Amino acid sequence: MPESVEKRGTATVTKDGELCGYAAYHLVNLGESRVYDVREIVAEDEEVFTQLIDQVIDRSLKDNVDFIFARRCEDPYGKVYVKKGALSFVESVIMVALLNPRELLSALSQETEDGKVLSLLIKGFDPVTIKVGTKGIMVVTEEKPDLTVSTDSKTFIRLLLGKTSLTKQFLKRKIALSSILSWTTASHFFNIIKHGKWYIPMGDWV
């Protein structure tokens, strides 16, 4: 966001001398408007989060601010905004592209003794062979696959980030298995690699 920062501030909440949450904000001038832009807000529970919001609103009134923006990639205490009378809307989206599935799966690998071997075919990339064990996965090179899973990079990303389910994508024919009998292995594989929660610093996406 192009901005002209007039002032910076931090609101904090402590209990028994320990920090329980903080909010960092800028006072910026956007055109003719004076705006508080909350760049980061972290709280250990909803009560602390509410206190932080109250502090920011109080300070904004003293600074003669026209409106306050607060954004987070994922909102664990999103209901507090509604209770406090904030308007909420979607202004931007976060998009992800797969560039190297082998490196990604290698980073998720751990030593795995037993398990079925899955060949993952993602359109546009070389196949990756993975041993799927009970507790983890391991990228392997010389083992013969027991099953093949074929998909495209966008479906893979959405499964990786927990934005869809294997069943949904299978029914939409976005993902194919060499044998339906391998369903349990494929489902287990996607459960292991799933990263449903991400924290993305706001400085990168606003």
The pair phi, psi for residue 183, each rounded to 5°, is: -50, -45
For residue 160, the minimal CB distance to other proteins (Å) is 9
Q: Among all chains, which residue has been given the structure tokens 């003669």?
A: 64
Q: Would you say 55 and 22 are in contact if contact means Cβ atoms under 8 Å apart? A: no
- Which lies closer to other proteins via its Cβ, residue 128 or residue 147? 128
- Which lies closer to other proteins via its Cβ, residue 135 or residue 173? 135
- Which lies closer to other proteins via its Cβ, residue 82 or residue 176? 82
For residue 85, the minimal CB distance to other proteins (Å) is 7
- Which lies closer to other proteins via its Cβ, residue 41 or residue 147? 41
Q: Phi-psi category of 64—alpha, beta or left, where left has phi over 0 and alpha has psi -120 to 50?
A: left
For residue 73, the minimal CB distance to other proteins (Å) is 5
Neighbours of 189 (CB within 10 A): 24
For residue 20, the minimal CB distance to other proteins (Å) is 21
For residue 102, the minimal CB distance to other proteins (Å) is 9
The pair phi, psi for residue 127, each rounded to 5°, is: -60, 150
Q: Which residues bind other proteins (CB under 8 A)?
A: 1-4, 30-33, 35, 57, 60-61, 65-75, 78, 81, 84-100, 103-104, 107-108, 110, 153-154, 157-158, 161, 163, 195, 198, 200, 203-206
Enumerate the β-bridge partners of residue 150. Answer: 121, 176
2 burial class (0-12, 13-18, 19+ CB within 10 angstroms)? exposed
For 45, half-sphere exposure in the C-beta direction (CA atoms, 13 angstrom radius) is: 3
For residue 16, the minimal CB distance to other proteins (Å) is 30
- Which lies closer to other proteins via its Cβ, residue 106 or residue 178? 106
How far does CA 84 lie from the centroid of its chain?
A: 25
- Which lies closer to other proteins via its Cβ, residue 11 or residue 147? 11
Q: Would you say 24 and 12 are in contact if contact means Cβ atoms under 8 Å apart? A: no
